Chains A and B, each alone.
Chain A
Amino acid sequence: MSSSCRRPEHMAPPEVFYNEQEAKKYSQNSRMIEIQTQMSERAVELLSLPEDQPCYLLDVGCGSGLSGDYLSEAGHYWVGVDISTAMLDVALQRDVEGDLLLGDMGEGLPFRPGMFDGCISISALQWLCNADKKTHSPPKRLYRFFSTLYSSLARGARAVFQIYPENSEQLELITAQAMKAGFTGGMVVDYPNSSKAKKFFLCLFAGVSGVLPKGLCSESTDRGVSNQAQFTAQRSRFKNMKGKSVKKSKDWIMEKKERRRRQGKDVRADTKYTARHRKPRF
């Protein structure tokens, strides 16, 4: 995503982070364009749309239209929603074919029921997991988004979200709200063993129980390792088999810090050094 920091959603709300400077970077950085196009391609593949048929799709967090351009190339018509005017301005300059809307996905989608044949979202959903204003409640915003998305989709349509989850709790929060809104589906993980190439795609089905597509993996990995997590209406939790995170792991440390924050205790801010492995004599 951004070259200057690992988690941009910790720096500022999306409409502030994606200012003119950042928006310009997005449209000119060839590596950025390549990655976004690849992820859009994979997301459309996971949508499993009927072949040779132009569809009406929704692009949530369309930004400067990089993913939208891919949709247009594939012959589809699309509507994009984004919260940043700077990014949408870049999209207008790039003369994208889709129709653009300035909106906050956490406020719900303003559409009539059953309109879209599918929905994609590239690197956007994780922004909903942070409370940028005092009045924000991430679970409520996630639910409002998912429930309005569920109604906006036609029966049997899919929604594919490429996300950068911070930890398993965030993943759990997202999937819980999606299930509550009526979606079924699961996570597809591509290249689970490569920290650089690993990509998470949340695949949701509206109204019809579908077969979850397989995640991609490189040839040398052990094929026996499962790289999907499927969920249905049954409550399931994304945790270690024993029910808790492995003691002293990064996940465990982050969870403990979160617990102490909730208790109101003074906790050091999270940085890139948090839970870093120290030498034994430390």
Chain B
Amino acid sequence: MKLLTHNMLTSHVKGVTKGYPLIIKATEVKVNELEFNAQFVSRMIPKLEWSALIQAAEWLGQSQDLPSALIPDYENDEEFLRKVHRILLEVEVIEGCLQCPESGREFPISKGVPNMLLNEGE
């Protein structure tokens, strides 16, 4: 599971109002290499919940030199975009779980795939 996806995920259990952001408890993290696309990264930045991203990076111990608040005029700062690209698309959680901040319900992650299947009545 990449952190870009994590930034989009919420708990969709019935009755949960604040199921975002899901707390990451990772036991295995991998860093891959992926081709850098500045256009895509700068388009995605406004969609991101920046504080959730920083928090997720911290949980994984990957928060090296990411600013805690979004800098203005990030489109032209290639270095910044590369850092964001790395944290969004190159860092992957392979094993662990996602926990709902409201209910505490856990969604396990296995082989990099989070299990979002709900139980009866959820």
Contacts and interface: CB of A to CB of B under 8 A. Distances in A.
Interface residues of B, number: 29
Contact of A101 (B40, B113, B118): B113
Given A77-B40, A115-B47, A107 B9 contact: no
B49 A112 contact: yes
B1 A110 contact: no
Interface string B81-122: 000000001000000000000000000000111111110101
A103 B39 CA distance: 30
Nearest to A58: B8
A15 B93 CA distance: 24
Contact of A99 (B4, B47, B111): B4
A173 interface: no
Contacts of A77: 4, 40, 89
A111 B118 contact: no
A131 interface: no
B106 to A, nearest CB: 14
B12 A102 contact: no
A102 B113 contact: yes
Interface size class of A (residues with CB under 8 A): 20 to 34
B12 A107 contact: yes
Nearest to A107: B118
Interface in A95-127: 97, 99-104, 107-112, 114-115
Contacts of B11: 110
B113 A115 contact: no
A77 B111 CA distance: 20
The residue in B4, B113, B114, B116 that gathers the most chain A C-beta atoms within 10 A of its C-beta is: B113
Nearest to A81: B116
A102 B116 contact: yes
Given A56-B44, A92-B111, A100-B112, A107 B10 contact: no
B25 interface: no
Contacts of B50: none
Nearest to B12: A110
Interface of A: 53-54, 56, 77, 79, 81, 83, 88-89, 92, 97, 99-104, 107-112, 114-115, 135, 148
